[in-house]
Structures are given as structure tokens and as C-alpha cells.
Chains A and B, each alone.
Chain A
Amino acid sequence: MKFLNKNTLLILILALAAVLRFYKLDTYPALNADEAAISYNVYSLIQTGQDEHGNPWPIHFQSFNDYKPGGYFYIVLPFVWAFGLNEWSVRLPGAIFGVLTVLFVYLLVKELQKWQQFKILNYKFEIIASFLLAISPWHIHFSRGGWEVNAATFFIVVGVYFFLRAIRNNKYFALSAIFFVLSLYTYHAARIVTPLLGVVLLIIYRKDLFSSANRKLFLGSVILGAVLLVPLLTSFVGEASARASGVSIFSDRGYIDRIEEKRARHEDPFSVLNRILYNKPKELAIEFSKNYFEHFKGEFLFISGDDIERNKVPELGQLYLWQFPILIIALYAISKKSKGWGLVLAWLVISPIPAALTFQSPHALRAQSMIIPLTILSAYGLTVILKFLNENIRKRGILTTCYILLTTVLGWSFAHYLHQYYVHMAKTYPYSSQYGVKELVEYMNENVNNTEPIVVTTRYDQPYILFLFYTKFDPKQFQGHHILTARDKYGFSTVPAFNNYIFKSINYKDEDRDKFPGAILVGTDEEIPDAANVIKNIYGSNNYLYFQVVAN
């Protein structure tokens, strides 16, 4: 290692991070509906100054009535402006943020060591941390695509980094405030993580912040942040906050039924003891704790990952399995000498809170910022092991064997991950992203005369937005010419028709064959009977059959 100076190593790591994040970025995995929504709304803004539904320059985008935070949209905007409406332009910013997060974790860990004196001499803790983030399945997954959360995590890391720098050089306070605010504009979960992290920073560095040298600039930055937040607050009132609270544990009625059921099993359901044992605050506290601990469950972190297929790679946890012993070692070492670890540990404790407040737990997406403290801790565990090996094993042969073993385990896990990601993910979870739609629209563009009605199945998520995206449909013709349905039970709306496109579930035999004479029907394999006049089978990039095109 000595023959390479540390910057060369860092550059190599960044290059590795970039390869892992940019390779086949436009095609794998297929674009999903949320990414298409981001792109098309931005496209619409550029063309008309309004989003797809005609709202001018929104802070929260109405989209599927889920009111997406707008930060990432505006980051994508120059990319769409420069490169046009395509997969690259919506995904590039995410991937770039991914690589930059690796860089800033390096800088952050280095900065932490300056302040906290837990530097372990000569072991390049920060290099290991950035390397582990570069190859982290959890981080790579959400860097490859237009995931708002990945941008928010980046902003939080940069915000913390500039905060630490600001303590010695107080002109950075303003930058820190700006990045923290950016994270709030970008992702719902950050609206809980960032303020809590701010409180932790305030407590840990209270003496430095209120020293006579820093006081003015610090408070000035706080005010700057507050002012920058005003537009967000005004936008958050109303629909956007309704959506946020719609997914929270408070809106789920299950716990109230549970209280009633348990109380009813006593002779007097309203006795004092009954009220003390079973009541709303207690049930909610238990529900929250249960969700919270789900994020530290081995099954989630190391074995199978998230429950949602879109958020995971088959047969892999959010972290590598070898990170379990390494994390235990890190915690063990920290228990021995805990000075300086407050921030990282608090970060880990805070990160799952927003996800635990929603009823879908564990949630790899909402709790993604966990990856930063987990990576730093893993790096520390690995550093402790390396230090231990170097200091305690005198025989060169044994030491080399240990290194070879470590490298083999890490190398194999990494190869296994890549194999599962590139070979199996799209095939094991064929519905995790909108495979096949691009191929479908390409075929239609070439072969189908635009004036016939085209009826497309709604079997897969939000087809309208993908059709808008792939046909680059003129936003002016869309705004005001479509209706948005009422919210379904999950809180989402959709557009059932635009131009000559109709989106509905296909019932070929009993309904659609006679209802749409001369139309083009596009259904799934199950929806289209063999007897129909199938003119084309559409396969996704994973070679699975997604659509059958029928000339009626």
C-alpha cells in the first residue's frame, strides 16, 4: 500500500464507485414509474413552465397525487434541458450524487478524526470507509436511478461535513445550512432525520458553536436556513402533509381494533387497569418500537433485505453478511473507547425513525441514510481487525494468510452481489420495475398508426406516465386534457386516458373485443387469449414476455 499515495487510492475508489454506478445505468434496471414522473414533469416545466397537471413551478409535485418533494426534480431539470427526455438525464444526477457521497464520506471521516482524536495511526480509516460505501449494495442500489432519497442522503452528508469544517473555519456555517435545507426539499424522511441530527450536532458542539468567534456566523446561518425553509413550509401545508401523514402509523386503524379486542376480553372493558394497559399512546409506542427494531433485524440487514422487491437484490441483505461480525467488533471497540463516537452512533439511532413512523417497516428506501453510519462503523471494525492483525501476528506467513482470507471473503461477497444484481435481479423480480414498456412504445411508434384508439393494460404500475415519457408526448397537449382519478386505497391516483390511449385492465373475451373494434389492444399474457389476433409479443430487456399486442 505504501507505494501508492493516498490520493491515488481515493481516485481509484471513486473510479470504482463510478463504474458501479454508471455501468448500464440507462438500461438496467428498467425505468420505473416514479423516475418517468420526475423526468416528464421536468420536461413539462421546461416546455411550458407548468408540471404535467398544470401547476406552475411547484415545490411538491402532484404527480400521482402523492406530492413528491421537488428538490430532485429541479436538480434533474438542467440534465433534461441538456440531454433531452431520456433515462440518462433522470438517472445521471443520482449516480453522480452516489459517487460524490463516496468522496464526502471520505472527507467527513477525515474531518471527524481531526476533531475527535480517534485516529488510528496509519490505517487510513477514511479510505476504508469510502471504499466500503463504494461497494455497498444498499448505496449502489439507490444510486442507480432517479431516487430522491439518495440525493437527500448526499445533502445530509455534505451538510454534516461542512458543519464540522465550520467549527474551525466559520464561513462554512452558511454552506452547511444550505445543504441541510436542500435535503429537506428533497425527501420526506430527511425532514425528520436532518433536524434531529442538527440537534445532536448542537449538543455535541455546543461550546464551539457559542464561542465568541463562531456565535454570530452560526446564528446567522440558522436564520439563513430558516428563511430558505419558508417556501417549503408554505407548500407543505395541505396536500403534501396529508400524503405524509397518510402513510404514518397514526393513520392505520389496526392498533385501535387491537385495543378494543384486548379490552373486550376483560369483564369490564373500561376498568382503570384495562385503560392503563391498553390505550392509544402505549399501542403506538409499541408499534413504533417494533418498526424501529425491524431496521436492525439481521434478516433485513444481512440476509434478505427489504420486503419490497424494487428495493432489493435477491438472496442478499441490505449489507454484506460479513459486515455483521465487523459491526459487532466495531461496537465492541467503541465500548472500550467511546470518545468521539457520539455523532456516528446518534446518526445510526436517528436514521430509522422516519421509516419506523410509517406502517411499512423495515423500509430500505426511507431508512437509506442508515447506510452512512453503518458504513463508517464497518470501516472502523475492519480497521480494528487490520490493526490487531498487524500488531499481534508476528509470522509473515500467517499474516499473509489472514489477508488472503479477508480479501477472499470480501471479494467473493462483492462478486456474488454483482452476479445477483446483474444476472438475477430483473428475472427474479420481473415486476420490480417497468420492464417491457420501452420495447412496447418503440414497437408502437414504428408500426401503429396514431389515430386508432390504443387500449393498454393497467396490470403494471402507472402506464400513462411511461407512455408520456417514451412517446415524449407534448406537455401542452396533456395539461388540461386529462383527468386524474380519485386516490386508491394506497393513496395513489392515476390517469386513465390521454390522446388516443386508454388505460384499463383488459377483459378481452367478454368486453373489450366488442367494445373497441379496430383498436389496438395491449394486454398481458394472461389477459389475451390465444384466439386473439396477436400481431406482436413484447419482451422486456430480461427476455420475459410482458405484453401481447392485438389488432382487434
Chain B
Amino acid sequence: MNTNRWLLVVILVLAAVLRLWQLGEYPIRLTNDEAAIGYNAYSILKTGKDEHGAVLPVIFKSFGDWKPGLYIYLTVPSVAVFGLSEFSVRLPSALLGVLTILLIYELAKELFDKKVAIFSAFSLAVLPWHIHFSRGAWEANLALTLLVAGTLFFFKSFKSKKNIILSALFFAFSLWAYQSAKLASLIVLIGLGIFYYKEILKLDRKNLIISAVLGILISLPIITSLFTGKTGRVEVMSVFSYTRPLEYIESTIFEQENITSQDPVYILFHTEALNLFRGVAGRYLNYISGDFLFFKGDWANPRHTSVDMGYLLFVSVVPLLLGLYVLFKSKVTKEIGFVLFLLALSQIPAALTRDSAHGVRSLGMILPVCIILGLGLARLYDFILKQKRIVGLTIISLTFAAYLYSMCLYLDAYFVQNKYSEPKDYFYGYKQVVERVFEREKDYKRIIFSQSYDQPYMFFLFYGVGHDARFAPEVFQGNTTFQESPSGDVGLITHLGGIEFMPTNWYEDRGEENTLFIGRQEDFPQSDIASGEFNVEYINYPDDKPAFVLLDRK
């Protein structure tokens, strides 16, 4: 094997260690989506149906958020081998993460050369953004793998014609993986169409037609879902569902100017369309801000980032700027044009949703970003080669030290600091509280668990499957108490295996004997907790602040 191969193997091993080490233990909590994915995979494995009893669905209803099912099916073998656990739910994503690095290597090799490829692969291997979403059952990570694979096999089809069919399959299946992937894949496809239309026209007609037909057939179930309301939370998340409240417009614009919405001044300067455009532009720019990339990450959803960390290593600022410079300076070839195109547009799908920043929906940005980092590092490498030996060695040592230092900071944030930042681990404690309920439940007539959109029932299913038969899929499927949400958003389960999930109606229920109440601390009045009338047990976060309280009358 040549040096490049060896280097690639080392990078893949590094990537695997970063993604697989203590995968079951870190992150220290399972999210409700991870639990749902795991349980549905288990349900498919045992019964061929999902939790709601649907036979082999393409889109899983789950909490009413309609999860595209590909990741769940990929989890089935993992659950079959390792049993239902944190590790088995997360394993597919971690392996896909490692695979993506190999794919990026091949893709960057097709686009540029082996040097850029190896540096791109390295950049992806140590990219906090990618590590974070490879460690956990994040469907978007699967969509990213498919996106990169689809792009790669598109390029490979220039040399071997059958590959175009593979490419079409990958692109089509990315829709089965993640809702936001629709737009992300479309953008990549448009980019390929613009910059490589000549090559496409030269492709074998027959294969091209087969790919198109296959692609459309596979996407069809997802496309039809757009019209049957199974789009999950696309409407809830879309920026177009949010307009300024009328009171706001009245108090700011109408009152200040003494006009109505029919006034030309309003139409010229204050329309909803303008406001939307400004919002989308602002979010678009947020994704290329220092805060998002280096200092805060996804500030709107702390669960998507590590404490005080952005999505790139601090040291990456150098290869990023250098890579952009290379990209701008180079003659505009098809390849450069394509990367520039992705760079300009890959945050659009995320910018069209309501969050001011969102690390998951913008995951497609990883593709252009790690190629640019690769270009930057390759440029630095060329620069070092031109220097005198001693200068070159100094720069290499400094670069290495800077990477090591940034990486240590990131790992410390991920493995140590994250544990103590309570709001981030919002789901921490469910495993512990479920186990505690199983230990204590025989002493009570009623178990009342505070209802919430955390979907506590799912944690009972996930951790209860191994405990007793109440939580087995075949039992649950027939007895679900799922209640649709009136607004079409996610619904709730009210009863499960003798456990009631209901909003705490504390002042009516507090007198109930033989009842175990479980909830967040704020669900119960502090005066009652302290009154001595109740036995109080806490489930604590790692920083010893209470996550859950269990109460029953003495």
C-alpha cells in the first residue's frame, strides 16, 4: 500500500475511535427520538410492525412527527445483534459517520486530487460537527452519508456507466432518511445539473432513464406524503408558517405612521414578504457567523452542541480562510464552481426553518466545509514543502500542536463539561426514573407520571422491554392510547402498562393515598415537598440538581 492508503487507514481508525469510544455511555442520556427509533426497530424486528401497528411503514408515525424510516430499518440488525440498548441504537450512525469519511475521501479525489482528499478526510474525521451527530441516532447524519454517496457515484458514473443508477438510489433514499434532506438533495442535484450537464448528456441513455425512473419510484412514497399530511413537522418548522402578529404590526407600523395595510408606504416598506426575506437572509448569514462555526454552535438548541464550542475546531479558522482563498483564487473550473455553489446554497434548507440557527438541519454544509478545509490544509502543506527544512518542521509542529490543543478542548467539552450543563441534558434521568418506578410500583395502586412532550411513555417502553411483558411491542400495539394533537403537531400517550401519563392536577390529586407521583420539581409546590406529609425521593443530574421528584403520601 502507498502512503496515502496508510494515511487514510490511520484517519479512519482515528475517526472510528472518536465516534465509537464509549458510545453507549456518552452522550449520558438518550433523547426521546433515539428511544423511539430503537423501540420501533425492536418492534419491526419482533412483529414486522411499528409501535402503532403499521406494517413495515416507509414513514413512521412515532409521536406524530412522522419520522422517515430508513434509519429505523438500519437499526434493526444492530438491535438484533446487541439487543435494545443505547449502544445498539447509536451504532448505525457512528458507523455511517466513519463511512462518510471514506466517501468524502473518494469524492474529494474525484473533484481535486489525493492530497486534497486526504486532508478533507482528516478534517471531517476531527470535525466536532460531524463527531457530535455521529454519536447518537441522528437521522440527518444518515442523510448526509447518502448525499455524499450520491454525489460520489454521480462522478464515478463518468468512468463506469452503471454507477449513475447507484447515485440515483442514494439520492432517492436520502429522502427516506430525513425530512430536511429533500431540499438539501435537490440543491446538490441542481448544482450537479448546472456544472456537469455536458457530462450528463454524454451518459448512457438507458442507464440514465433507469436511474430517473428508479429515483422517482423510490422518492414517490415520500413525495406523496407531502399531500397526505405525513410530512411530520415541516409545517410547524417552516419559516412560512410564522408571520408577525397583527398586534405587533399595529403597534409598530400602523400606529407610528398612521397608515393601514393598504397604504402604499406599507406595501413598499413593511410587507410580510419583506419581513420574511429579512428573516431568511438573517438566518442564512447566521450559519456563516463566527458564533455558529467557532464559539457557540447551535445557540438555539444547546442539545446540539458542546459547552462553549462551535462546530469547527478553533484551529480550523486558518485552513478555512486559506481554503476560501484557494477556492476564490483558482480558475473557475466545474469542480470549483460546484463547491462554490454548495458553499453558497447548502445552508438554505436550514435558513428556511424557524430556528435562528440549527445544527442538524444545516448538516449538509459539512460537505462544502470539509472540502474547503481540505483545500486549505493542502495549500498549507504545499507552502511548508517550499520552506527550508527547519522552518517547515516548526510550522508542522505548531500546526500539530494547535490541532491537538483544539481537539483536547473539544473532547473535554464533549465528555466532561457537557455532563454538567443541565439544560443540555434535558432527557437525563429518564433511565434512572424508569428503573426506580419498576422497583417501587408494586407498593401503589396508581402511578401518575407528569405528562409532557418529552414523551415519557417512550422511555418506559425502551427501558421496560427487558423488564416485563407489559412493554413488549405486540402488547403495546393493540393497546395504544395515542391521542392526536388538535393542531396536527405531535400527540401524546395517556396510559401504558398501569402507568398514567397526565398533566399534574396537583391540588385535586394531592390527597390520594397509595399513589406515586413522578414529575419535574416545578410540577409540585415547594411547600408540599417540604411539608413532611410526603415521602420525597429525588433523581439527580450529575451536578446534583434534581431532575425528577417521586412523591407519595406518608
Q: Is the CB of A419 within 8 A of B265?
A: yes
* Residue in B257, B278, B325, B409 whose beta carbon sits within 8 Å of that of A315 in the complex: B278
Contact B290 A293 (CB under 8 A): yes
Encode contact with B along A419-441: 1 for CB under 8 Å, 0 otherwise. 11001100110000000000000
| A324 and B285 contact, CB distance less than 8 A | yes
B285, B294, B408, B417: the one contacting A289 at CB < 8 Å is B294
Nearest CB of chain A from residue B403's CB, rounded to whole Å: 15
A217 within 8 A of B: no
User: Are A299's CB and B416's CB within 8 A?
Assistant: no
| Interchain nearest-CB distance for A343 vs B (Å) | 18
Check B408 against A277 for contact (C-beta < 8 Å): yes
Determine how close the nearest CB of chain B comes to the CB of A482; give it in whole angstroms: 39
Interchain nearest-CB distance for A409 vs B (Å): 12
B538 within 8 A of A: no
Contact A293 B269 (CB under 8 A): no
B82 at the interface (CB under 8 A from A): no
Cα separation A507 to B506 with both chains bound (whole Å): 41
Asked if A302 contacts B281 (CB within 8 A), the reply is: yes
Cβ contact within 8 Å between A303 and B257: no
A303 close to B252 (CB less than 8 A): no
Q: Is the CB of A298 within 8 A of B288?
A: yes
Total contacts A-B at CB 8 Å: 86
Task: Tell me, yes or no, whether A489 is within 8 Å of chain B by CB.
Answer: no
**CB within 8 Å for A299 and B289 given contacts A265-B420, A419-B269, A428-B252:** yes
Instruction: Name the CB-closest residue of A to B256.
Output: A427
The complex places the Cα of A423 from the Cα of B258 at a distance, in Å, of: 11
Write the nearest CB–CB distance from A527 to chain B, whole angstroms: 23
A395 within 8 A of B: no
Question: Which B-chain residue is minimally distant from A316 (CB atoms)?
Answer: B278
* CB 8 Å contact bits of A322-343 with B (1 = contact, 0 = none): 0010000001100110000000
How many chain B residues touch A (CB < 8 A): the figure is 32
Number of interface residues of A (CB under 8 A): 36
Q: A277-B408, A293-B294, A336-B329 are in contact. Are A423 and B257 (CB under 8 A)?
A: yes
Query: Are B290 and A297 in contact, CB atoms less than 8 angstroms apart?
Result: yes
CA distance A304 to B278 in the complex (A): 9
- In the complex, are the beta carbons of A304 and B282 less than 8 A apart? yes
B291-A303 in contact (CB<8A): no
Nearest neighbor of B419 in chain A, beta-carbon distance: A265
Q: Mark B316-355, 1 if CB is under 8 A from A, else 0.
A: 0000000001001100000000000000000000000000
Give the CA-CA distance A302 to B409 in the complex, in Å.
32
Q: Which residues of B contact A290 (CB under 8 A)?
A: 290-291, 294-295
| Contact of B430 with A by CB under 8 A | no
Smallest Cβ distance from B406 to chain A, in angstroms?
Answer: 11
Residue on B with the closest CB to A297? B289
Per-residue 0/1 for B412-451: is the Cβ within 8 Å of any A Cβ (1 yes, 0 no)?
A: 1000110110000000000000000000000000000000
Q: Which residues of B contact A286 (CB under 8 A)?
A: 295, 308, 314
Closest to A543 in B: B256
Give 8 A-B pairs besides A290-B291, A332-B328 with Cβ atoms closer than 8 angstroms.
A299-B286, A303-B282, A304-B282, A321-B281, A331-B328, A335-B325, A424-B252, A428-B256
**Would you mind naming 12 contact pairs between A and B with Cβ atoms under 8 Å apart?**
A265-B417, A277-B408, A290-B290, A292-B290, A296-B290, A297-B286, A297-B289, A298-B281, A298-B284, A299-B289, A423-B257, A424-B256
Please give the residue numbers on chain B whose beta carbons come within 8 Å of chain A beta carbons, in ascending order: 252, 256-257, 265, 268-269, 278, 281-282, 284-286, 288-291, 294-295, 307-308, 314, 325, 328-329, 405, 408-409, 412, 416-417, 419-420
